[in-house]
Amino acid sequence: MTQPLVTIVVPSYGQAAFLEETLRSVFDQDYPRLEVIVVDGGSADGSVEIIERHADRLAWWVSERDGGQADALNKGFARATGDLLGWICSDDTLLPGAVTAAVAALSADPAALLVYGDALMVDEAGHPLGRLPARPFDLVEMVRTCQNHVVQPGSLFTRRAWELAGPLVVESHYYFDFELVLRLALLGSAVRLERPLGTYRLHVESKSVAGTLIKATDHQRLYEALFARADLPAAVQAVEAEARSLSELTAGEYYYASGDRGKARKAYLRALRLWPRRLDARSAGLVARTFLPARAAAAARAARSLGQR
């Protein structure tokens, strides 16, 4: 029986420090039928030179300005010919045997749209920080808690999944992967592997660390779009107020971290109107701090930052 072709898309922009390691982690997979595509956003940091060194092992690559990571991925998947698809960000890596394990899991469950596993968190130098565990593929719980249970590095989805749930939302900067997961959870099942498939790197320029203002607006947009759908099951509709309240609370935290106390206050108050049971000492304190003078608010943020180190 012929093994399915797997396409891995590597979106990249300004990640020359990590790109070589990322590409080698893909090329060194023991899976024999692998198609690799690199979509670079027009980097000027040496990334293109790295890509060119590996051009003979790439099915396609490009380096040009794009509309962000979701746009880059859509561009790559438009060129993909694989039966199974996935991506690895240019500061993350695939662990040895990840693709083989993911393909085997999907082959054993032909109805599944997605396979995913854990990741190992590492710092800028690649030193281990701990394990990022995947969680059950539970649509209602993901929506209610505003948490993506699917760890992206190493995950694969079927071509049918992409045809049903893609493309990615170009306007989304941070939560496009969560949005794709929610779409897939509305459509079918997934396989969760209780093993790490990739590494997830945390560094000062990673999206997980930076971009708080964009995260705020993106979180609100995602939940507006989700609950505007007409096909949501009753169990998801039942948690709308609670879920949207938490989304607003999360957005408020991001607005506050970015220094926009006015938008933070509005988001906090919307959260409490949507779900009054969320009113407690912590949420009241979040609202109260948005009334602090700018200098006092900055000092409070600095103090919390020092306390977290």
Residue 292, CA distances (Å) to 91, 258, 287 in order: 38, 15, 10
Measure the CA–CA gap between 105 and 114, rounded to whole angstroms. Answer: 9
114-122 vs 156-158, strand pairing mode: antiparallel
Confidence category of residue 59, pLDDT binned at 50, 70, 90: very high
Confidence category of residue 309, pLDDT binned at 50, 70, 90: very low
Which residue, of 147, 177, 201, is where some domain finishes?
201
Judge if 156 and 36 occupy the same domain: yes
Token pair listed for 29: 């997979």
Which residue, of 201, 220, 238, is where some domain finishes?
201
Which residue, of 182, 201, 220, is where some domain finishes?
201
Q: Which domain holds residue 69?
A: 6-201
pLDDT of residue 308: 42
In a domain, 222, yes or no: yes
Judge if 102 and 166 occupy the same domain: yes
Judge if 256 and 275 occupy the same domain: yes
Confidence category of residue 283, pLDDT binned at 50, 70, 90: confident
Residue 39 dihedral angles phi and psi, to the nearest 5°? -120, 105
In a domain, 1, yes or no: no
Measure the CA–CA gap between 255 and 17, rounded to whole angstroms. Answer: 30
Residue 278, CA distances (Å) to 43, 53, 69, 212 in order: 44, 54, 34, 23
The residue behind tokens 């009334």 is: 291
Residue 209 reports pLDDT greater than 90? no
Closest CA to 132 of 145, 114, 150: 150
Confidence category of residue 70, pLDDT binned at 50, 70, 90: very high
Judge if 242 and 179 occupy the same domain: no
CATH number at residue 233: 1.25.40
In a domain, 230, yes or no: yes
Q: Please, what is the end-to-end C-alpha distance for the chain in angstroms?
A: 53
Judge if 243 and 194 occupy the same domain: no
Judge if 163 and 278 occupy the same domain: no
Confidence category of residue 281, pLDDT binned at 50, 70, 90: confident
Instruction: Report, as an integer, the average pLDDT of 241-251.
Output: 96
Neighbours of 280 (CB within 10 A): 9
Token pair listed for 124: 């800028």
Q: What is the pLDDT of residues 94-115, one digit of tens each?
A: 999 999 999 999 999 999 999 9
Please list, in sequence order, all residues whose beta carbon lies within 8 angstroms of the beta carbon of residue 280, skipping any fewer than 6 positions away: none
Judge if 226 and 279 occupy the same domain: yes
Judge if 80 and 134 occupy the same domain: yes
Token pair listed for 196: 């790490």
| Lowest mean pLDDT, pick from 5-9, 49-53, 140-144, 255-259 | 255-259
The distance from CA 146 to its chain's CA centroid, rounded to whole angstroms, is 13
| Lowest mean pLDDT, pick from 61-75, 199-213, 243-257, 280-294 | 199-213
In a domain, 181, yes or no: yes
Report whether 173 contacts 270 (CB < 8 A): no
Judge if 188 and 241 occupy the same domain: no
In a domain, 232, yes or no: yes
CATH number at residue 105: 3.90.550.10
pTM for this structure?
Answer: 0.91
| Lowest mean pLDDT, pick from 2-6, 12-16, 71-75, 288-292 | 288-292
The residue behind tokens 């593929």 is: 137
Please list, in sequence order, all residues whose beta carbon lies within 8 angstroms of the beta carbon of residue 152, skipping any fewer than 6 positions away: 87, 89, 116, 119, 177, 198, 200
Cis bond upstream, residue 167 (ω within 30): yes
Instruction: Report, as an integer, the average pLDDT of 81-93.
Output: 97
Instruction: Report, as an integer, the average pLDDT of 163-181.
Output: 96
Judge if 235 and 278 occupy the same domain: yes
Judge if 87 and 216 occupy the same domain: no
Looking at the chain, the whole-number percentage of residues with pLDDT higher than 90 is 83
Confidence category of residue 305, pLDDT binned at 50, 70, 90: very low
In a domain, 227, yes or no: yes
Measure the CA–CA gap between 215 and 206, rounded to whole angstroms. Answer: 13
Residue 45 reports pLDDT greater than 70? yes
pLDDT of residue 207: 53
Measure the CA–CA gap between 156 and 98, rounded to whole angstroms. Answer: 10
In a domain, 237, yes or no: yes
Please list, in sequence order, all residues whose beta carbon lies within 8 angstroms of the beta carbon of residue 106, skipping any fewer than 6 positions away: 4, 84, 112, 115, 156, 158, 191
| Lowest mean pLDDT, pick from 71-85, 143-157, 197-211 | 197-211
pLDDT of residue 173: 86
* Structural domain count of the chain: 2
Indicate the average pLDDT of the chain. Answer: 92
Where do the DSSP E strands lie in 71-218?
84-87, 93-94, 114-122, 128-132, 156-158, 190-201
Report whether 86 contacts 156 (CB < 8 A): yes
Report whether 290 contacts 268 (CB < 8 A): yes
In a domain, 302, yes or no: yes
3-state secondary structure of 215: helix
Report whether 52 contacts 63 (CB < 8 A): no
Judge if 102 and 235 occupy the same domain: no
Token pair listed for 228: 């505007």
